[in-house]
Structure 1
Amino acid sequence: MELINSDSAPTAVGPYSHASVDAQGNIYVSGCLPMKADGSLVEGSIAQKTDAALSNLESVLKMAGSDKSKVLKTTIFLVDLGQFAEVNEAYADFFAGHKPARSCVQVSALPKGVDIEIEAIAQA
């Protein structure tokens, strides 16, 4: 197993790595928050926050030797499922032409008080 940490993504907010890669080349990306590389939170619409979380996901994938076209599954955690349509639009733009399996669940709270977190499983 290989542990991945990207200098282009914000530092993990807990005792975990950005991702891990198993012996079969599967990449498990930890939840990505809408944060800048310096650790500050991204402000703005849920679409802007979705873009930021996905950008961090892309940085981690790149560090692991992969890219968004190799994502097999994502999980989106949302504090307000009423924002689903706006998140969906930003997500569809990011994964244009590639539609990995996905789950989206509403949660009561997320780290740092953010309203979205996205994790993924990809191939190397």
Structure 2
Amino acid sequence: MQLFVLTFVASLIASVVAAPTPSTCPSSVVSTDESLEIIRTRKVASSTSPFSQGIVSGDHLYISGMLPVSPDTGKIVGEGDFAAQTRAVLNNVQAVVEAAGSNLGKVVKVNAYLTDLKNFETFNMVYAEVFGNHKPARSALNVPSILMGADIEIEAVVRL
């Protein structure tokens, strides 16, 4: 048993010693691989954060978490009106999908984040209106908060 403990402690110390430090981390700027395409549209509010609205990899588009933000004002749409926020965020998802040359009928997976599950029925109603007969795979999670005080955020995977 003592040998096991000594071996474990020695491996733990070795991993800490070998861990990269800020001075040994890569200092060059990472560039987007040429096999990926960054998708951006002015129909969705721009952000100063370091992420893309969407990235195409192969025959799929990966959409970042979209908020119900107006591209004109940069502010949350429909504060206090969950249905309006859901429509706004789905409009933003649709704008990125269309900017990549696809359509909502090719959405494969949706991840929805809601700050209050009491809004789940309203979410389902608006979601069904937007997607019609198409039913992508979906997760809906309750989260404590979302950026900018939004009540909903949606990310998606879309086939091109």
- TM-score by length of structure 1 reads 0.96
Aligned pair partner of 1:109 in 127, 145, 159: 145
Aligned to 1:37: 71
CA shift digits 1:26-56 (9 cap, x unpaired): 1000111111112121025111100000000
**Superposition pairs of residues 82-101 of structure 1, within 5 angstroms:** 82-101=118-137
Higher strand share: 1
Aligned residues: percent identity? 39
Q: Which runs of 5+ in 2 are unaligned?
A: 1-35
Q: Which AA in structure 1 matches 2:98?
A: K
Q: Which residue of structure 1 lines up, in the alignment, with residue 33 of structure 2? A: none
Equivalent of 1:26 in 54, 60, 83: 60
Q: Which residue of 1 aligns with 2:94?
A: 58
3-state SS in 2 of match to 1:28: strand
Structure exhibiting the larger radius of gyration computed from Cα positions: 2
Give the structure, 1 or 2, with the largest relative contact order (CA under 8 Å, sep 6 or more): 1
Aligned position for 1:16: 51
Match for 2:53: what amino acid?
A: H
Structure 2 Cα separation of the partners of residues 14 and 74 of structure 1: 22
**Secondary structure of the equivalent of 2:46?**
coil
Runs of 4+ in 1 over 6 A off after TM superposition: none
Gaps of 5+ in 1: none
Quote the RMSD (CA, aligned, Å): 1.0
Task: Count matched residues.
Answer: 123
Taking structure 2 as the reference length, the TM-score comes to 0.75
CA positional deviation for 1:12:
2.9
